[in-house]
Amino acid sequence: MTLAHHARIWFTSARYSIVRTLMFRGDFFIWALVEVFWMTVNLLMISVIYRHTDSVAGWSKYEMMLLVGTSLLIQRFLMGFFWSSIFEMGRNIRSGHFDFFLAQPGNVMFMATTRKLDPDGLMNSFVAAGVVIYSARQLGLHPGAADIALYALMVACGVIIHYSMLVLCIAPVFWITSAQGIEGSYFTLSEFSRLPREAFRGVANIAFVWILPVVVVSNAPASTLLHGLDLRVVGWLLAITVIWFTLAVIMFHRGLRRYTSASS
């Protein structure tokens, strides 16, 4: 199965998703608004906190906005490209509809996790990018083309890590079938990515900065944009991207072996 083959399948699915969205325009509008509102909630919280203090763990208001904007950007991409597919994967495994993906002409993990595109999530990635650009302007940053390319690469790594985390959160369904509420664990984890790394101390530092990738994912691109290239940070991010993606692939395929379909 070549890359071109999978790209063709992806484009076909994407076209189908977009046509479907155009059929339910009202829904698209409401959901896009929902996401804008939730992003605003996060920004409001920062504005309120910074009304009363100048610095949180050494981060100024607009540095923090840039961090949250980056975290939102990564999450919007995840929502846009993968969320619906992976979320439904849990239900499909439970109900037996997962058979459908096994019969498709492509890698099972690729087919099961990329089938549905959410244009509202993708639209809102522009809003999140707007938050990042606005904050960068307020900070007087003038990143060059290379800086922006590096930032984009790191955001892409972030999306892959979030994708892997989400797959890892859903994959237990292969074993325990009923996994109601398990998706919530992903959202709980993603909350940590809006916090500056310097705020973590002791056990929290070990758990959320070193063991789980949730903090580095957003902090690495944001601090690169703020303070320039630090090879250690880039290397760290690339390494954990590879590790977490590999873990997700292994876990998914282990689970797949357990899949027995649901006969009726």
Partner 1 sequence: MLATLNKYRAAFSVGLQSNLVYRVNFAIRGFFSFFHLIVVFILWSAAYAGSPAIGGFNFPQTFTYFVALIVVQFMIGAFNEDYQISEEIRSGLINQFLLKPVNYFAYRFSIYLSARLVTGLLILLPVLVTYPLLKDYLVLPTDAWRLALGLPALLMSGLIQFGIAYCFGLVSFWLLEIQGLVILSMAIESVLGGQIFPLDLLPDWLFRLSQYLPYYYQMYFPVAIFTGRLNDPSAALTGLGIQACWVVIILAIGQLLWQRGLRLHTAVGG
Which residues contact partner 1 (rule: CB under 8 A)? Answer: 27, 30-31, 33-34, 37-38, 40-41, 44-45, 48-49, 51-57, 180-181, 184-185, 188, 191-192, 195-196, 198-200, 204
Residues 6+ apart with CB under 8 A from 46: 61, 64, 65, 68
Q: Select 150 or 214, whichever has its Cβ closest to partner 1.
A: 214
The CB-of-77 to partner 1 minimum distance in angstroms stands at 20
Rounded-to-integer distance, Cα 38 and Cα 113, Å = 24
Q: Select 51 or 232, whichever has its Cβ closest to partner 1.
A: 51
Among residues 195, 196, 169, the alpha carbon closest in space to that of 180 is found at 169
The CB-of-252 to partner 1 minimum distance in angstroms stands at 23
Cβ distance 225 to 136 under 8 Å? yes
Q: Select 31 or 101, whichever has its Cβ closest to partner 1.
A: 31
Q: Select 9 or 39, whichever has its Cβ closest to partner 1.
A: 39
Cβ distance 173 to 192 under 8 Å? no
The CB-of-184 to partner 1 minimum distance in angstroms stands at 6
Residue 82 identity? F
The CB-of-83 to partner 1 minimum distance in angstroms stands at 14
Q: Select 2 or 37, whichever has its Cβ closest to partner 1.
A: 37
The CB-of-240 to partner 1 minimum distance in angstroms stands at 20
Work out the number of other CB atoms within 10 angstroms of the CB of residue 28: 17
Residue 53's region, left for phi above 0, alpha for psi from -120 to 50, else beta, is: beta
